[in-house]
Amino acid sequence: MFSRIKPLATLVGFIVAITTATSALAAITYTVEFRDHFGVVGGLENSYISSGVPGYNFQGERLCNSLSDPACAFTATIFAILPYCQSASEANCVESLAVTTPKVSSGKANYLRTVGTRAFEADVANGIPAGTNWSLFEVPALKSAGLQSTFGVKVRVELQKIPGLGVKASAFSAVVTPYELGTTTAPDATFSTFSNPLGQSSIRGTGGDPECLWVKSGECGREKPFPADATITVTIHIGNYLTSWLHGRLSDPAVSIQPLDQRQNVLTVSGKPVEVPGVKGSATTEVIQGKTPLRDGAGMKIDSSQDRSLEQFLFFEKFFSNKATLLDEVWSFRSLGLESVASAASDALGLGNPLDSLTSVLNGGGAGGGISNPLASGAKSLGDLTGLGASAAKCVPEASQIVGAILGTDSVSSLIGLVTTNSLTYAPGPPKYTDGFLNYKVAGLHKNPNDSIFQGSYDLVMSSKVARCIYGFEGTAPLYATVSVINIPV
CB 8 within 8 A of CB 457: no
Say if strands 135-138 and 437-439 run parallel, antiparallel, or are unpaired: unpaired
Least confident window among 38-52, 294-308, 388-402, 443-457 = 388-402
Give the whole-angstrom CA distance, residue 66 versus residue 159.
13
Range 361-370 average pLDDT: 32
What are the φ and ψ backbone dihedral angles of 12, each rounded to 5 degrees? -125, 115
**Which residues touch 100 (CB under 8 Å, ≥6 apart)?**
106, 107, 230, 231, 233
Q: Mean pLDDT for the chain?
A: 76
> Which has the higher per-residue pLDDT, 247 or 3?
247
Most confident of 185-199, 269-283, 444-458: 269-283
Q: Calculate ∠ Cα 9-10-12, nearest 5°.
A: 130
Give the whole-angstrom CA distance, residue 428 versus residue 425.
9
Q: Is the pLDDT of residue 39 over 90?
A: no
What is the structure's pLDDT at 227? 98
Angle, to 10 degrees, between the axis of helix 396-407 and the axis of helix 338-347?
Answer: 150
pLDDT band at 95 (very low <50, low <70, confident <90, very high): very high
Angle, to 10 degrees, between the axis of helix 464-471 and the axis of helix 396-407?
Answer: 110
SS3 115: coil
Percent of the chain with pLDDT over 90: 33
Give the whole-angstrom CA distance, residue 110 versus residue 253.
23
pLDDT (tens digit per residue) in 266-284: 999 999 999 999 999 888 8
pLDDT band at 450 (very low <50, low <70, confident <90, very high): very high
Give the whole-angstrom CA distance, residue 116 versus residue 134.
9
Most confident of 11-20, 100-109, 188-197: 100-109
pLDDT (tens digit per residue) in 286-341: 766 666 654 455 578 888 888 778 888 888 888 888 889 889 999 999 987 655 44
What is the structure's pLDDT at 473? 65
pLDDT (tens digit per residue) in 383-394: 333 333 344 345
What is the structure's pLDDT at 246? 87
Closest CA to 242 of 136, 369, 432: 369
Give the whole-angstrom CA distance, residue 276 versus residue 315.
20
